[in-house]
Amino acid sequence: MKGIYWLVGSGRDIAIWTDPWVPGIPGQRIQGPRPLRHGVEKVADLLHPNTRSWNSELVRSLFIPVVAKQILKIRVPLFEWEDKLIWTLDRKGSFNVTSTYFDAKNQEVASHPVAENDRALWKTIWALRLVKEIQVKAVSSSPILPHSNAEAGLGSSWEPPPFGWSKINVDGAFVPRSSLSATSVIVRDSSGCLLAAKFGPAGVCSALSAEASAVVEGLIMAKELGLSHVIIEGDCKQILECLAKDGVNCDSEVWFLIQDCVSLFKET
C-alpha cells in the first residue's frame, strides 16, 4: 500500500523481504529474489543483539550495494522500542483523509506545469512565513532545557549558561547530492571552559534526522560527563520544540530519535 512504511525499533515485527522499511529505495521495499539459505527473515536478524547496531558485514552480503548503503543509514534507536508503522503522507505519521486527499490532488497538479511567475510568488510567501516562525524559542522547565538559537543569526556570539549549568551546542548537516551527513557537539560550562567536543558522520538519510542525531549525541555526552543541569542549544527549531514537549506530536521521520532523547533526559 502506498504511503506506509515501518520505522525500525526492535526490528522483530518487520519482515525484511516483504515489508516497506528502507527509505531511499522504490516503495521502501526490498526488490528482487531472496538469497538462498540466508536464514534471516526479520530486521532484528540484521542487528547485533548486544550493541543494537547493524551487522554491516551481513547486510552487505545479502543486498546489492545501493540497498545495503540505505539500510546502514537507518539509525537504530538506543532503546529497544517497538517497531512503528507510519503513514508517510502525514508529517506526524498518522493516517487521515486530509493527507490522502492532498496526495491525490498533488498528483493531479503535477501533470499541469506551474507558471514561473506563480512559482516565484510562492517562494516569496514561504520565505516570509519562515522568517516569522523562526523567531519562536523552544524552552522547557526540566533540568535539561532545549533552546533554539535560530533567531540569533550566524553572526551571533555565544552566551554562557547560568552558574552550575552546562551548555551543549549541537548541529547536524546533510548533503542530499552525496547523501553525506554529520553531527557536531560542543560542551562548555558557565565560564566558557570547553568540557568536551565531538564531530563525526551521522549515517542518516535526511537533514532533520541529522539534527535529531546531534541532540542524541549531545545527551549521550552529557550522561558520560555526569552533567545534571544542561541547556541543549541548536538551530533546528522543529526538533528542539518537540523535545520541549517531551516528544509529543513530533515528526514521524525522527520519532525514535526523539524518544531516545526523552529517555536520555530522564536518565541524565
Looking at residue 248, its pLDDT comes to 66
Task: Say yes or no: 161 and 237 in one domain.
Answer: yes
Q: In this structure, are 82 and 142 located in the same domain? A: no
What are the Cα distances from residue 244, in Å, to 138, 256, 258, 261? 6, 16, 11, 11
Q: Of 234, 235, 232, 236, which is closest to residue 253 (Cα–Cα)?
A: 236
Per-residue pLDDT at 17 = 93
| 255 and 151, same domain (yes or no) | yes
3-state SS, one letter per residue, for the chain: CCCEEEECCCCCCCECCCCECCCCCHHHECCCCCCCCCCCCEHHHHEECCCCEECHHHHHHHCCHHHHHHHHHCCCCCCCCCCEEEECCCCCCCCCHHHHHHHHHHHHHHCCCCCHHHHHHHHHHHHHHHHHHCCCCCCCCCCEEEEECHHHCCCCCCCCCCCCCEEEEEEEEEECCCCEEEEEEEEEECCCCEEEEEEEECCCCCHHHHHHHHHHHHHHHHHHHCCCCEEEEECCHHHHHHHHCCCCCCCHHHHHHHHHHHHHHHHC
Residues 152, 214, single domain; the answer is yes
Is position 103 within any domain?
Answer: no
Please, which pLDDT band fits residue 209 given cuts at 50, 70 and 90? confident
Q: Are 45 and 151 in contact (CB under 8 A)?
A: no
CA distance 254 to 7: 9
Domain shared by 166 and 249, yes or no: yes
148 and 260 within one domain: yes
We report the CATH number of the domain holding residue 241 as 3.30.420.10
- Residue 126 forms part of a structural domain: no
Asked if residue 108 is part of any domain, the answer here is no
Average pLDDT over residues 20-38: 84
pLDDT at 169: 92
Q: How far apart are CA 145 and CA 29, in angstroms?
A: 39
Tell me whether residue 147 is in a domain: yes
Model confidence at 59, in pLDDT bands (50, 70, 90)? very high
The per-residue pLDDT for 89 is 52
Q: Total structural domains in the chain?
A: 2
pLDDT at 129: 36
pLDDT of residue 80: 87
Ramachandran angles phi, psi of 149, nearest 5°: -105, 20
Among 65, 87, 109, residue at a domain's last position: 87
Residue 9 zone, left/alpha/beta (φ > 0; ψ -120 to 50; rest): alpha
In a domain, 249, yes or no: yes
Amino acid 141: pLDDT:
36
What integer pLDDT is reported at residue 55 of this predicted model? 95
Task: State which of 45, 63, 87 marks the end of a domain.
Answer: 87
For residue range 131-181, list pLDDT tens digits in order. 333 222 333 334 555 566 654 444 457 889 999 999 999 999 998 888 788
Q: What range defines the domain where residue 38 resides?
A: 4-87
Residue range 86-129, pLDDT digits in tens: 866 545 444 343 433 344 444 444 444 545 544 554 444 344 33
- Type of residue found at 244: A
Domain boundary among 27, 57, 87: 87
What is the residue type of 221?
A: M
Q: pLDDT (tens digit, 9 = 90+) per residue, 117-144?
A: 445 544 443 443 333 332 223 333 345 5
Set of cell numbers at residue 135: 523567531
Question: Residues 78, 153: one domain?
Answer: no
Rg of the Cα atoms in the chain: 20
Predicted local distance difference test score (pLDDT) of residue 263: 81
75 and 156, same structural domain?
A: no
| Whether 153 and 256 share a structural domain | yes
Which residues, in sequence order, are CB contacts of 198 under 8 Å at separation 6+? Answer: 183, 184, 185, 217, 221
CA distance 236 to 240: 6
C-alpha cell at 204: 542518516
Of 155 and 20, more confident: 20
Clarify whether residues 223 and 145 are in a common domain: yes
Same domain, 151 and 222: yes
- Which position has the grid cell 503522507? 89
Average pLDDT over residues 16-27: 90
Average pLDDT along the chain: 75
* 122 lies in some domain: no
Q: What is the pLDDT, as a whole number, of residue 96?
A: 42
pLDDT (tens digit per residue) in 65-86: 999 999 998 888 888 888 988 8
Share above pLDDT 70 across residues of the chain, in percent, rounded to a whole number: 68
Q: What is the pLDDT of residue 148?
A: 60
* Same domain as 82, residue 141: no
